[in-house]
Chain A
Amino acid sequence: MQLSQSAPERSWNWPAGEFTRVPFAVYTDAEIYALEQKRLFQGPTWNFLGLDIEVPNAGDYKLTHVGDAPVIMVRTREGAVNALLNRCAHKGAVVCYKPRGNVQEFNCVYHNWVYDLGGKLTGVAFKKGVGGKGGVGPEFEPDDHSLRALRVETYKGLVFGSFSDETPPFAEYLGAELLKAIDRVFIKPLKVLGYHSQVLPNNWKLYAENNKDSYHASLLHVFHNTFGVVRPNMGGGIKISPSGWHHLSYTERSAPNDDETGREKVRSLKDQYKLHDPALMEHRLELGDLITNSIQTVFPNLIVQQILNCLAVRQIVPRGLDRAELVWTVLGFADDTPDMVELRLKANNLVGPAGFISMEDGCVGGFVQRAAKADPNAMTIMPMGGKAIEPSQGSRVTEAAVRGFWKAWRSCMHM
C-alpha cells in the first residue's frame, strides 16, 4: 500500500530530514494510521508488552497490544516469556479473550484448535474427520499453522516485543545512557500496586509527543510550578539516545526561584494556591539522587515515570485514528514497608486519569485533534531549542525530544 502524496487532499511539503514541522494529516489520515500498524508497530521497533512480574508462573498470561494488534504475553514451562499474536491460524479469532489467567495451552473456542504455550499447533478438532469422512487433507502440516510469535527481549523486568527481524538488540536500540536511566529506577524487585487507563480523544502520537515535550510541563500543569515539583529553572536536563528516538527528561530538587518564571507572566504560577495537606508532596529519597521527576520514553509506546515516590510504566495503545488508550501500571518495590506503600498511593494522586499533574494531558491532546482536521496539509511547528535533536543540560525548555520522535516516525514509515 503506497500513500498517494500527490492526491489533492495530501499536498503537504515535507522535505526529508525536516523534524521541526509536521503535517497535521499525520493525526487525521486513515491511510497513515493503517500504514503505522504495518511499518512502525510491526516494523523495526521494540514495543512494551508488560512486566515479567505479571506472569510469574508457567502458563500465566496477560493480554496486551502492539499498536492495535492483540498480543498474548505468556510464561512458558521453560521459564521464558513469549509473545504471540492473539489470532487463531484458522479463521483468525482471538485465541484468548480473558484479560489474564493461567492456562495449560491455548484453546480457540471457535473450532477447538489448540496451541501450546510456544504457539505451536498441537490439536485440530476432527482432524481426521468423523467415521472416515471429512477432516483435513494429507497435505495439512500443523507446523505451518502456529500462532505468529514475536521476538521478545526483557530488560530489568520490562518485556518488549518486536514483529521484525530487522530490529537491533534492545541494548543497541535504546543506547547505553538510557539503559542506565532504566537501571536507576528498577533497582530491586517490583510489585504491581494497580492499573487503570485513560482513554484519550486523540491520535496516539499526540500523547507520545506530550511525554517528550518538557517545554509544556511548567506551563500547562499549574500544580507542577506552584509546588516546586517542576519549575523551568530547576536543575536537570534532557538526554537523547544516539538514534534520537528515545529520551529522558529529569528535574532535580533545588530551592524554587521565582524570578525567571515571573518574567514570562506564566499563567500557571499562582502564589495563592497552597495545599491544605502537603503530605501529598512528601518525597523519600530512595534512588540514590535528588531527582524529583523523571520521564523516560522508549519509542514508540513506553513511558517510565518517577514522580517523587510514584513509580509507574505507561503503555500507549492506539484505538483508532482519533482515540488512544493510555494504560498505567503503578509500581512499588516488593520490599516496601506498609507505610511506603501508603506514601506511593498518596503520591499517585499526582498522576493517572485523576492526577493533579497528569489529567490535563488527557484533554490537551483532544484540543489538538479537533482542530487538526481543519486543514490537514498545514504544518505544526516545533522550534523550541532550535532544529537539533540534542541533549541539554539544565534547560528543559526545548522540543528536541519531540523532534526525535518525528525522526523515528519518518524512518519507520519511509515518509
Chain B
Amino acid sequence: MTSRSQKSFEMRVQVEAALAEYMHAIASDRLEEWPSYFIETGRYRVMTRENRDQNLPLCLMICEGHGMMHDRIIALRTANIFEPHVYCHIPGALRITENTLTSVSSESTFVVMRTMSDGATSIFACGRSFDHFVKKDDGLKIADRLVVLDSRQIDTLLVIPI
C-alpha cells in the first residue's frame, strides 16, 4: 500500500471508530455524553430529504453549540413526555468526501430501529448523515453533523438524537 493510500485507510478507520463511539453512547443511554462528541461550537441538525432536495432550511432538530445540545438532553430527561424506547443505530456505507490536514468529512447511510418498552421494534428512520470532523489531539470531534432522513414522516415523535 502506498503511504498516501495508507493514510487514507487510517483516516477511514478513525472516522468509522468515531461514528461507532457516538452511536454506542446513544444506544447505551449515555446521552449526557452526546455533546462531548462535538466541538464547543459544533452544530447538529436533523432534516428531511424532501426539504434538503428543495433547498428549504427547516430542521426537525437544530442545536448550535453545546448549550443547545445540553438543553435537548435535559429536556429529554426532565421535561418531555414519551414512552421509553431505545435505538439500534446501524451505520451503512461510508464515504470519505474530504480529508485535509485539520479536518475530514464523511457521508454515511444509516438505519435506526426503535424498540418500545412493550418490545415492539420498528424501522424508525433511515437516510444519510453528513459529518464534518476536526482533527484534535485527542481524536476526531464533530464540527457539523447533518442527519438527513429519507422520510418526511416521523412515527409519533423524535426525542433521542440520531
- Measured CB to CB, the residues of A under 8 A from B are 192-201, 220, 222-223, 226, 268, 270, 272-273, 275-277, 279-280, 325, 330, 341, 345-346, 348-349, 352-354, 356, 359-360, 362-364, 366
Contact = CB atoms under 8 A, between A and B. Distances in A.
Contacts of A196: 48, 51, 58, 60, 152-154
A353 to B, nearest CB: 4
B113 interface: no
B47 interface: yes
B23 to A, nearest CB: 18
Nearest to A319: B153
A276 B68 contact: yes
Contacts of A192: 56
B123 to A, nearest CB: 13
A360 B80 contact: yes
Given A194-B51, A195-B58, A353-B60, A223 B157 contact: no
Interface in B5-59: 46-48, 50-51, 56-59
Contacts of B153: 196-199, 325
A273 B40 CA distance: 21
Given A196-B48, A280-B68, A354-B157, A345 B79 contact: no
Given A194-B56, A195-B51, A276-B66, A353 B154 contact: yes
Nearest to A193: B58
21 contacts: A194-B56, A194-B58, A195-B51, A196-B154, A197-B152, A199-B153, A199-B154, A220-B81, A270-B78, A273-B78, A279-B68, A325-B153, A341-B57, A345-B58, A353-B157, A354-B61, A354-B157, A356-B75, A356-B79, A362-B156, A364-B81
B57 A276 contact: no
Nearest to A329: B58
A192 B60 CA distance: 15
A276 B62 contact: no
Contacts of A275: 67, 71
B138 interface: no
A233 B65 CA distance: 34
Contacts of B47: 194
Contacts of B46: 354
Most central of A196, A220, A359 by chain B CB within 10 Å: A196
Nearest to A359: B157
Given A277-B68, A352-B60, A353-B154, 14 more contacts: A194-B59, A195-B58, A201-B155, A222-B78, A276-B68, A276-B71, A277-B67, A277-B70, A345-B57, A345-B59, A348-B58, A348-B62, A353-B158, A356-B79
Contacts of A325: 153
A369 B55 CA distance: 37
B57 A194 contact: yes
Nearest to A358: B157
A201 B153 CA distance: 13
B67 A222 contact: no
Contacts of B68: 276-277, 279-280, 349
A349 B46 CA distance: 11
Interface of B is mostly: mixed
Contacts of B66: 276
Interface in B90-125: none
A154 B131 CA distance: 43
Nearest to B46: A354
A359 B64 CA distance: 20
B40 to A, nearest CB: 12
B55 to A, nearest CB: 10
A330 B81 contact: no
A194 B48 CA distance: 9
B83 interface: yes
A276 B70 CA distance: 7
A230 to B, nearest CB: 14
Given A196-B154, A359-B157, A277 B65 contact: yes
A199 B83 CA distance: 15
Closest 10 CB pairs of A and B: A194-B58, A277-B67, A353-B154, A276-B67, A362-B157, A222-B79, A194-B56, A359-B157, A354-B158, A194-B51
Nearest to A325: B153
Given A196-B51, A196-B152, A222 B57 contact: no
A349 B82 contact: no
Contacts of A362: 154, 156-157
Given A276-B66, A277-B65, A354-B60, A360 B82 contact: yes
B157 A198 contact: yes
Given A276-B67, A280-B71, A198 B79 contact: no
A364 B82 CA distance: 8
Contacts of A199: 153-156
Contacts of B58: 193-196, 330, 345, 348
Given A277-B68, A362-B157, A364-B81, A193 B62 contact: no
